[in-house]
Amino acid sequence: MRIVATGNRAVAEAVRQAAPAVIAAYPITPQTTIVEQIAEFVTHGELTSRYIPVESEHSAMAACIGAEATGARTFTATSSHGLLYMHEMTNWAAGARLPIVMANVNRAIGPGWNIWADHTDSIQERDTGWLQVYASTVQEAYDTTLMAFRIAEHNDVLLPVMVNLDGFLLSHDMQPLETVEPGDFIPPLHLPHAIDTAHPVAYGPLTGPEQYFRFRHDIEQSMRDAVKVIAKTQVEFTRRFGRKYGFTDDYRCEDADVIVIAMGTLGKEAEVAVDALRNEGIKAGSMRLRWFRPFPELDLKGRDVVVIDRDYSFGFGGVLARSVMAATKADIFSVIAGLGGQEVTYDDIAGFVKNRRIGDELWFKVNNSA
């Protein structure tokens, strides 16, 4: 069915169809309309989930952990400071192998107090064991949320998935949305280690170094297996519903001399920059990164690469740029842009490509040299 929806509405719609047994959430700008919409679904009986209006994000994640441990599908949504407030519990969710799905509406971290798009919030969850995916359109936010449940709950994964969408830019942008009937695309959850009162066992006891180390290794093993599960799920999604998704969304990359890499809406806007550059005879392409964890293999051999980070690791560099460098040894011009909702247009992105200085770092509109 074709409807018109915001990014947040699209997420809520996908959640309605995935029908989690438990949803626990705390509202925060710009995520609020996701949980408002879900609360409305529950109120009107369109969703039979148990909706727990908790007193904080830490509690939201704790409630999801408790519920998911019984084998119940759960969902939560947050943003920015809410996500950081969850941080202790996000680690727990992954460590306890609970396939919780969460939407994070990317927003800057204060101070200075700022409600606009920035990836610093989710990037700070990089090493928790959560899978991370970034959407760039309303349709993609919807499709990806549906896929997130299937991927997280797959027996070879059993890790939580965070679906990210840019605050306001995508969360509040209204676009056409084609909804589907997911049917058995999202099979019922069978959590192998679910609490079973008939066979009581202890959860979360003290774990010695040797066992602990194995658990950590198991998480990494599942992250690697997740690569296959994601690939298969995306192929199956295309087979059933037509729309195609990869680890990256490649646009005019085949013969490109220079490739722009970004996540979220900036990666979509980069396609318009690529078209403009091509019209000027510059062979540019855009490789929008969808999956940040697990980090995909990227083929960038022989091309210049311009990486745009909407985040920063102080004392080191743009997290995406440094990740691409580590994973590919590519020649990179690192652009730090869009922090705190800074306006970045396709003209600006074309400018980054034309004026690229491989090996350098640019803070857009702040400095012009590394």
Partner 1 sequence: MLEIRIHSRGGEGGVTAARLLAIAAIHDGKYASACPFYGAERRGAPVVSFVRIDDRPIRVYSQIRKPDLIVVLDESLLGVVDVLSGLKAGGTILINSAHKMEHPGFATYTVDLTGIALREELVVSGSPVLDTPFLGAIARLGLITHDSAKEAIAGMFSDPRNIRAAEAAFREVIA
| Residue 169 phi, psi dihedral angles, 5° rounding | -50, -45
**Sole binder of partner 1 in the list 157, 344, 350, 362 (CB under 8 A):** 344
Q: In terms of CB distance, is 333 or 346 closer to partner 1?
A: 346
User: Does 352 contact partner 1 by CB under 8 A?
Assistant: no
Strands 258-261 and 174-178: unpaired
Q: In terms of CB distance, is 8 or 323 closer to partner 1?
A: 8
Structure-token pair, residue 346: 């396709």
Written as one string, the DSSP assignment of 177-226 is EE----GGGSPPP--TT---TTS----S----HHHHHHHHHHHHHHHHHH
Identify which of 332, 328, 337 has the alpha carbon closest to the alpha carbon of residue 359. Answer: 332
User: Does 26 contact partner 1 by CB under 8 A?
Assistant: no
In sequence order, the 6+-apart residues with CB closer than 8 A to the CB of 44 are none
Q: In terms of CB distance, is 40 or 299 closer to partner 1?
A: 40
Distance CA 62, CA 100 (A): 11
Q: In terms of CB distance, is 79 or 128 closer to partner 1?
A: 79
Q: In terms of CB distance, is 153 or 348 closer to partner 1?
A: 348
User: Does 115 contact partner 1 by CB under 8 A?
Assistant: yes
**Sole binder of partner 1 in the list 26, 116, 149, 247 (CB under 8 A):** 116
**Sole binder of partner 1 in the list 53, 174, 218, 220 (CB under 8 A):** 174
User: Does 144 contact partner 1 by CB under 8 A?
Assistant: no
In sequence order, the 6+-apart residues with CB closer than 8 A to the CB of 344 are 266, 269, 308, 337, 338, 364
Q: In terms of CB distance, is 218 or 343 closer to partner 1?
A: 343
Distance CA 179, CA 185 (A): 14
Identify which of 107, 106, 158, 155 has the alpha carbon closest to the alpha carbon of residue 131. Answer: 158
Other Cβ atoms closer than 10 A to 238 = 14
Kindly identify the residues of this chain, within the stretch 176-235, that bind partner 1 according to CB under 8 A. 176
Distance CA 105, CA 111 (A): 18
Q: Which stretch binds partner 1 (CB under 8 A): 43-51, 182-190, 237-245, 265-273?
A: 265-273
User: Does 175 contact partner 1 by CB under 8 A?
Assistant: yes
Structure-token pair, residue 341: 């909702």
**Sole binder of partner 1 in the list 269, 304, 311, 361 (CB under 8 A):** 269
User: Does 57 contact partner 1 by CB under 8 A?
Assistant: no
For Cα atoms 352, 355, 361, give the angle at the middle one, nearest 5 degrees: 65
**Sole binder of partner 1 in the list 4, 235, 326, 366 (CB under 8 A):** 4
CB 188, min distance to partner 1, A: 34
User: Does 345 contact partner 1 by CB under 8 A?
Assistant: yes
Question: What are the residues facing 333 on neighbouring strands?
Answer: 306
Kindly identify the residues of this chain, within the stretch 282-301, that bind partner 1 according to CB under 8 A. none
Q: Which stretch binds partner 1 (CB under 8 A): 82-90, 142-150, 199-207, 263-271?
A: 263-271
Other Cβ atoms closer than 10 A to 331 = 15
**Sole binder of partner 1 in the list 20, 23, 30, 83 (CB under 8 A):** 30
Distance CA 189, CA 122 (A): 26
User: Does 276 contact partner 1 by CB under 8 A?
Assistant: no
Q: In terms of CB distance, is 80 or 90 closer to partner 1?
A: 80
User: Does 268 contact partner 1 by CB under 8 A?
Assistant: yes
**Sole binder of partner 1 in the list 68, 125, 143, 166 (CB under 8 A):** 166
**Sole binder of partner 1 in the list 47, 67, 169, 284 (CB under 8 A):** 169
User: Does 149 contact partner 1 by CB under 8 A?
Assistant: no
Is the peptide bond between 112 and the residue preceding it cis, with omega within 30 degrees of 0? Answer: yes
User: Does 104 contact partner 1 by CB under 8 A?
Assistant: no
Distance CA 110, CA 338 (A): 15
The footprint of partner 1 (CB under 8 A) covers 2, 4, 30, 115-116, 137, 166, 168-170, 172-176, 265-266, 268-269, 271-272, 343-346
